[in-house]
C-alpha cells in the first residue's frame, strides 16, 4: 500500500532549480520535492507521497491524519518506528 503522510517542513532549499525541503516525520527526516507546492514555507505541514509534497495541510489535520493512521495500525505496519514516533509526537495515544 502506498500512503501519503503528513510531515512538517524544517528547511527549504533549491537543488538544480527545483524547490526541495527537509521534512520531519516525527524524528525521521527526508528530502522532499516541493515542485507541486512551491508556496510552502518552513513550519508548514505538507502531505508527502513518494518523495513529493502534493498539498499543504493545516496542523490540526496533520495530527488527525497521523492519529487515524496509528489507530488503524498503518504507521507501524508500513513505515516502522519513525512514523509511529510521528504519531506519538503529535500526541496520539497508542492503543
Residue 35: per-residue pLDDT: 97
DSSP symbol at 78:
I
Q: Which residues pair with 32 in a beta bridge?
A: 21
62-84 pLDDT, tens digit each: 988 877 877 887 766 655 555 55
Averaged pLDDT for residues 41-48:
96
Can you tell me whether residue 45 is helix, strand or coil? strand
Domain ranges across the chain: 5-89
Residue 37: per-residue pLDDT: 97
Name the average pLDDT for the chain: 82
pTM: predicted TM-score of the whole model, two decimal places: 0.74
What CATH architecture is 5-89?
Answer: Roll (2.30)
Residue 90: per-residue pLDDT: 58
Residue 95: per-residue pLDDT: 45
Other C-beta atoms closer than 10 Å to the C-beta of 45 total 23
Amino acid at each position: 500500500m502506498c500512503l501519503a503522510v503528513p510531515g512538517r517542513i524544517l528547511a527549504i532549499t533549491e537543488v538544480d532549480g527545483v524547490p526541495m525541503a527537509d521534512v520531519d516525520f516525527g524524528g525521521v527526516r527526508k528530502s522532499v520535492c516541493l515542485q507541486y507546492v512551491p508556496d510552502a514555507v518552513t513550519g508548514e505541514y505538507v502531505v508527502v507521497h513518494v518523495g513529493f509534497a502534493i498539498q499543504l495541510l493545516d496542523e490540526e489535520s496533520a495530527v488527525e491524519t497521523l492519529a487515524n493512521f496509528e489507530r488503524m495500525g498503518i504507521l507501524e505496519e508500513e513505515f516502522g518506528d519513525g512514523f509511529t514516533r510521528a504519531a506519538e509526537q503529535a500526541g496520539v495515544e497508542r492503543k
